[in-house]
Amino acid sequence: MKTAIFCYSLKGKETALKAADIIAKEYGAEPELFAPERMADGGFGAIPRPSGDFYGGHFREKELLISVGSVGICVRHIAPYLRTKVTDPAVIVIDELGEHVIPVLSGHIGGANRISKALAEALDGEAVITTATDLNGRFAVDEWAARNGMVISSMKLAKDYAAAILERDLPLKSDFPIKGSLPPGTKEISLADLPYPEGTIGLYITWTTQEPYDRTLRLVPKSLVLGIGCRRGTTEETIEQAVRTVLDENLIDRRAIASVASIDLKKDEGGLLSYCRKLGIEPEFYTADDLKAVEGNFTRSDFVEGITGVDNVCERAALINADKLIVKKTARDGVTVAVAVKNMEVGFE
C-alpha cells in the first residue's frame, strides 16, 4: 500500500513515526515521511514552500495519506484534488498526540475506517468514525466489496443502498454459499418473499448480469475461469467478439473473469496474448498431459485431439483451476470458449 505521512510539529513527528511503524507492520508498507523544511531530518523529506502541487502529486500516486495535525490543514491541502470515492485515496488525520484518528476520505472503499481503527488501537487512541452505516451498526456494502475484491455494479445504486439500509432490512441473494451470519440490515430471500414490491432495492452477489429486484445492486467476485482455444493466427478482435457473444448469451458479467487458460501450443498466439493484455490478465498455459488429467465429461473432438494431443482444450483448460463448468464448449469463428466457476464462500463476520 503506497503511503505518505505528513506532519507539522516536533510532537507530530513522534506520532508520525509511530504511525509509520504500525502501517509497516500491519500492511507491509514503507510509508514516506514528510515534515516542514526546518524539521526535515531523520528520514523525513521536506514539505516544500510553497507546496504547489506537492500534495496533489501524492494524492494521485498514493493509496493512503496520513496527516498528523488538524483536520483543517488536511482538508485545505487535499481539497483541490478530490475526484470520486472510487479513485480517491484513503485519507486519515491523526492529532499530534495520537489521541484521535479520523478517517476523512474513502472510509469504505479505500479502507480508511478500517485502517483508522487499527491505528487507534495501536496508538491507544480513539478512532472517530462518522459514516452512518458504521455508527448505526448496518452493513457497509462498499467497504465489504472493496475488502473482498468484488466489483460494484453501480456506485449510484451503492449510495442508494447505503441510505436505504439505514431505514429497513434489505434483501440479499448470493450465488455462493454464505458462511456464518448475514450482515446486519440484510435478510436472505426466500420463495415466499417473491415477487418483491416495485421499487425494492436489494443486493445480489453473483457472476451473472441477472437482476432479481426492481433495483439490483450486484457485487461481482472474480470467480470465473475462461477456457479458450483458437485456430492459428486468429485475431484479437475475433477472440474478443467470440468471448463477448458467449458471455452475453449466458448472462455472464465479464468483470467476473479471474483468469484465462489454454493449451501451451497457444502461448505464442498473438491474438490471444493481445486479448489477455486488454483484459489485464496474464494467461495460463497447460500441456496436453495437464489437460488430459482433468476429470469430467467433455465435448470430444477427434480433430482437436489429432492436432493438440487432447480431445478438448477450452473445457479442460477452464476446469483445471476451477470447480464447475457453467458454459460448455461454444464455437464462434474459429474460437472455442468455455467458462468454469470456482467454489467460494461468502462470509460477513
By the 8 A CB rule, do 98 and 57 touch?
A: no
Q: Write down the CATH number for the domain with range 224-341.
A: 3.30.420.180
Instruction: Tell me the pLDDT of the chain averaged across its residues.
Output: 92
Closest to 94 in 3D by CA, of 131, 135, 46, 127: 127
Which pLDDT tens digit goes with each residue over 62-105? 999 999 999 999 999 999 999 988 889 999 999 999 999 999 99
Average pLDDT over residues 312-322: 94
- Angstrom distance (rounded) from CA 139 to CA 333: 46
- Angstrom distance (rounded) from CA 247 to CA 241: 10
Residue 192 has pLDDT above 70, yes or no: no
- Angstrom distance (rounded) from CA 159 to CA 299: 45
Which pLDDT tens digit goes with each residue over 135-177? 899 999 999 999 999 999 999 999 999 999 999 999 999 999 9
**pLDDT value for 262:** 95
| CA quadruple 171, 159, 197, 247: dihedral sign | negative
Fold of 141-220: 3.40.1390
Residue 195 identity: P
Grid cell listed for 147 = 475488502
Angle at 148 between CA 146 and CA 152, to 5 degrees: 45
Residues 6+ apart with CB under 8 A from 293: none
- Angstrom distance (rounded) from CA 82 to CA 346: 33
How is the chain split into domains, by residue range? Answer: 3-130, 141-220, 224-341
Q: Which residue has the higher pLDDT, 114 or 196?
A: 114
Produce one character per residue of 21-32: b if its CB has 16 or more CB atoms within 10 Å, e if not: ebbeeebebebb
Fold of 3-130: Rossmann fold (3.40.50)
- Least-confidence region, from 194-198, 223-227, 235-239: 194-198
**pLDDT value for 194:** 66
Residue 184 identity: P
Confidence of residue 46 (pLDDT cuts 50, 70, 90): very high
Average pLDDT over residues 308-314: 87
Which pLDDT tens digit goes with each residue over 266-307? 999 999 999 999 999 999 999 999 999 998 888 888 888 787
Residue 191 has pLDDT above 70, yes or no: no
